[in-house]
Amino acid sequence: MAEPQLVDLADLKPRLQRTFDHYASKFGTLIDHHPDYFPIYTEGGRWRHGGELWTDWCAGFLTGILWHCYRRIRHEWWRDKAEHYCRLLEHKQHDRDVHDLGFIFLNSYLPWYEVTGDASKKRVVVTAGQTLAMRFRERGQYLCSFIGPESLFIDIMMNVPIIFYAARETGDERLLEVAKAHCRTTERTIVRPDGSTAHEGIFDTNTGEFLRQSTHQGLSAESDWTRGLAWSLYGFGTVYSYTNDPADLAVAERNADHFIDRCPDGLVAPWDFDAPEGDRMADSSASAIAASGLWQLADLTRDPSRAARYQDAALTILDTLCSDAYVSWNDPEWEGVLKHGVYHKPKGLGVDQSVMWGEFFFLEAICKVLAMIDGD
């Protein structure tokens, strides 16, 4: 069982700042060389390639990176770019074919609203939340994934907060009921007693009965796919910040304890905790998501010893990742920042590459810690 380290912030801070500066350089170059292009994963370190997308869900992450750069650098060039990339996404607020509207709009139009206070930007986020709620299946009580009406994904826990947001901003009780019901169904069907999670739940669409756990991106239906676990940890924590329901906090804590306990030293997770020796490559993106989710959870938990453990774990992950082994400082040909991520191992897509959500959540975690150090 791995334990978080006690990380020296004075030692970590310059590496956080160096990594942030590297982001500004790499992503400034990306949008300069490939304007209006939303990549998902690299091939051979290159963002633009002809590889399969599986599903197109990442546009909010590039936009969110531009907002993080603006919020720290405070130069209008970044704001112009972030606003421009937001506008390219506006039409997606009505997209009923995807379950990723939270990923897209909480990282694009929500920061735009927060920066400007412009109510028209908030309206786009609210509409996206209302659109996502249309995926709710009365029979079964869940938001279905893009796969089809029978499918619930653990990833949706990162998207359901946009429905809580829309419910809060509109006072619409029905939206609140839908979002809460989805969380309880997810907990009951694909969060396991030990805190691990399945990627997918399959339901009988006629009766709403839960049939079985399943996976697309993990090793097997029963296995411990680490990115899904990180989505659950972070998602249930965010949901708790809306609901104040101890059931949501308890799931996030169970996920967090399980994630930390099963990680190797340094807390960079393999792509699936059950992957056999010889096939246990890291998924740095899982740990980047976990770092940001653990940092948040340290603030939310009511237990001081847990808070300390989660904060140390988040810092341990950043301490490990902000290094030559993971950041492309010494590889000018590599177009991403965070190396050694995994997209879709069973399909062989984006394996040992940079992935856009890894880039986003690593930067988000770095910005949170730098803000704390700077007293912002």
**Of the candidate residues 108, 197, 213, 217, the single one contacting ligand GLY (CB under 6 A):** 217
Site size with ligand GLY, rule: CB under 6 A = 3
Residue 156: which of 199, 120, 192, 116 has the closest Cα? Answer: 199
Closest distance of CB 31 from ligand GLY, Å: 23
Q: 89: how many CB neighbours lie within 10 A of its CB?
A: 21
Q: What is the DSSP letter of 347?
A: T
Classify burial at 206, counting beta carbons within 10 Å of its beta carbon; exposed 0-12, middle 13-18, buried 19 or more.
exposed
Catalytic pick from 21, 56, 100, 257? 100
Closest distance of CB 24 from ligand GLY, Å: 25
63 with 82: CB under 8 angstroms? Answer: yes
Nearest residue (CB) to ligand GLY, 312 versus 364: 364
Contacts of 84 (CB under 8 A, 6+ apart): none
273 with 223: CB under 8 angstroms? Answer: yes
Query: Which residues within the stretch 154-213 sit at the binding site for ligand GLY (CB under 6 A)?
Result: 155
Rounded Cα–Cα distance for residues 283 and 173 (Å): 39
155 a catalytic residue:
yes
Catalytic pick from 8, 11, 97, 155? 155
Query: Which residues within the stretch 222-251 sit at the binding site for ligand GLY (CB under 6 A)?
Result: 227
123 with 83: CB under 8 angstroms? Answer: no
Closest distance of CB 276 from ligand GLY, Å: 21
Exposure string of 285-309, with b = 16+ CB inside 10 Å and e = fewer, is bbbbbbbbbbbbbbebbeeeebeeb
Contacts of 112 (CB under 8 A, 6+ apart): 67, 82, 83, 86, 118, 121
- Which string of DSSP letters, residue by residue, matches 124-145? HHHHHHHHHHTTEETTTTEE--
Nearest residue (CB) to ligand GLY, 78 versus 234: 234
Closest distance of CB 197 from ligand GLY, Å: 12
Contacts of 156 (CB under 8 A, 6+ apart): 99, 143, 145, 182, 186, 235
Nearest residue (CB) to ligand GLY, 180 versus 227: 227
Closest distance of CB 96 from ligand GLY, Å: 18
Nearest residue (CB) to ligand GLY, 217 versus 354: 217
What are the tokens at 334?
């590599």
Nearest residue (CB) to ligand GLY, 4 versus 64: 64
Closest distance of CB 227 from ligand GLY, Å: 5
Rounded Cα–Cα distance for residues 310 and 293 (Å): 9
Closest distance of CB 119 from ligand GLY, Å: 31
The mark string for 129-158 relative to ligand GLY (x by CB under 6 A, - otherwise) is: --------------------------x---
Nearest residue (CB) to ligand GLY, 100 versus 312: 100
| Dihedrals phi, psi of 331, to nearest 5 degrees | -130, 80
Query: Rule CB under 6 A: is residue 345 a binding residue for ligand GLY?
Result: no
Nearest residue (CB) to ligand GLY, 137 versus 227: 227
Catalytic residue set: 100, 155
Residues that bind ligand GLY (CB under 6 A): 155, 217, 227
